[in-house]
């Protein structure tokens, strides 16, 4: 049997990112980013702009209340020490008012020199699912707001 080596700091940070979403804690999610971190939801065909921390926190903070029991599971993780980045293939499930949510992602996490913070996060989403699910959720929320006079 070969000896096990401890996971690199990069890998630990990447797994902490996944754990922060499983905790469903904005503080945990944002705490793993550098002050100048940029996140972009891809592919570009979705037309989503790159977001700095403030924009991401505002956008994701508006989404979070509508998802319950989110669970993210890592399917594979690839580390590139030379480029100081980690790629994660993952899937998630959650409950929403419009039915179950099941997402699939590839996250490319660019790290700071110490490997303990994310400087850039590229999030490739299941575009086929995203273009049907999110408009359905937004329509439901708009109807709910109109019904309550908000």
Among positive and negative, which fits the CA dihedral 110, 115, 126, 64?
A: negative
Give me the CATH code for the 9-148 domain, please.
3.10.450.50
Neighbours of 138 (CB within 10 A): 13
Angstrom CA distances, 141 to 37, 42, 76, 122, 149, stand at: 30, 24, 34, 27, 12
Q: Of all residues in the chain, what percent carry a pLDDT higher than 70?
A: 97
Given this model, what pLDDT does residue 33 score?
A: 99
Q: Where are the domains of the chain?
A: 9-148
pTM for the full model?
0.87
Is residue 129's pLDDT more than 60?
Answer: yes
């Amino acid at each position: 049997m070969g000896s096990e080596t401890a996971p690199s700091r990069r890998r630990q940070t990447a797994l902490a990112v996944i754990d922060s979403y499983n905790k469903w804690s904005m503080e945990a999610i944002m705490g793993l980013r550098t002050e100048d971190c940029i996140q972009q939801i891809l592919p570009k065909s979705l037309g989503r702009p790159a977001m700095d921390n403030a924009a991401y926190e505002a956008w994701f903070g508006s989404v979070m209340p509508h998802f319950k029991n989110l669970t993210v599971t890592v399917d594979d993780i690839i580390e590139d020490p030379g480029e100081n980045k980690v790629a994660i293939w993952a899937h998630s499930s959650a409950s929403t008012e419009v039915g179950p949510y099941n997402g699939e992602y590839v996250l490319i996490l660019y790290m700071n020199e110490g490997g303990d913070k994310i400087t850039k996060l590229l999030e490739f989403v299941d575009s086929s699912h995203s273009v049907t699910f999110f408009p359905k959720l937004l329509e439901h929320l708009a109807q709910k707001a109109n019904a309550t006079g908000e």
